[in-house]
Amino acid sequence: MDMMLSEAAATGNPVANPDANRGANAVRPLAIEARGLVKRFEGTTAVDGVDLAVPEGAIYGILGPNGAGKTTTLRMLLGIIDPDEGVRRVFGHDRPHDIARMIGYLPEERGLYPSMKAYEAIAFLGALRGLPLAEGKRRGRELLERHDLGHAADRQIRQLSKGMAQTVQLLGTLVHKPRLVVLDEPFSGLDAINQGKLEVMIRELAAEGTTVIFSTHVIAHAERLCEGVAIIAGGKVPYAGSVDEARDHIPAQVRLETRAREGRWRDALPQDARCEGDYWMFSLPESGIEPLLRALIEGEAGILSLSIERAGLHDAFVHIAGAAAARALSEQSAVEAAR
């Protein structure tokens, strides 16, 4: 396995992995590769056999409830902690610390020196990644201006609102212009406006070719932003791949309204068809919608409306990870929304 990863890194080609690296991603080099990651703490297995493959330039989400193993997984990928088993590579390097200047990391535990000025805090975080302090200060002011916080550049962190301080820390994560940005629960604690601004920022980073991987327990962020996701529950990853393929775990549903209530056209409906008020609901047939449409027309059903509704990522999460994990996810999202 390790030899296979080495060959992939040397050639710039991703490792073949039908579960985590499909479709368009198959021709793109990988920013992150992980196979069989295991981490134990005092006899308890926190992460159990995680596989990931994140293409360069992708927005990729690690989706799961608190305690599922998201943070431990990210820390192993970054080399903050080492796995007990398995291998991980970042841009082909098995020692992520060697390429720290290429990585930006926003930990779940936020923290800045309260007495530092905003632009100084950004420069300080950049210096930790090898950026000269003077250049960091220049870029810090520039980033604050670009994100409508120029007026706060000379304020101390203690004088900023919580949302502004989190934005400053995020800008400090980006000031050295990393190729990979890793964000642990970046939306936590932000109001709706700042969450929207962060989503725009993530899309802009990806448009510039930066790889963004973030953990979240809020499905909506992953569904709106991510090209690929890894669903993690109980330290395991039952699914890793594209968002569309996750949704395809549940067949699309057809919603049909007809003028006629009876007729031979009903023989054409799939076996799982059920009547809900004025509508028939059933799974999209494997043969597609066209044969069914012909049968409905020939049988004089009188089609009033017909729509095809794909499953959302939440339904896919329930199907893949189980109801218990989905309930935990929903409860955590509800608690945060109430704050």
pLDDT at 7: 32
Q: Per-residue pLDDT tens for 19-49?
A: 444 444 457 899 999 999 999 999 899 999 9
Q: How far apart are CA 144 and CA 152, in angstroms?
A: 8
Cβ burial of 39 (10 Å; 0-12, 13-18, 19+) is buried
pLDDT at 39: 96
Count of domains forming the chain? 2
**SS3 state of residue 275:** strand
Residue 48 included in any domain: yes
Specify whether 236 is located in the same domain as 283. no
Specify whether 275 is located in the same domain as 164. no
pLDDT at 326: 66
The parts of the chain modelled with pLDDT lower than 50 are 1-25
Specify whether 89 is located in the same domain as 231. yes
pLDDT at 273: 92
pLDDT at 329: 65
pLDDT at 324: 66
**Which range of residues forms the domain containing residue 148?**
2-242
pLDDT at 137: 97
217, 329 contact by CB (below 8 A): yes
Specify whether 57 is located in the same domain as 139. yes
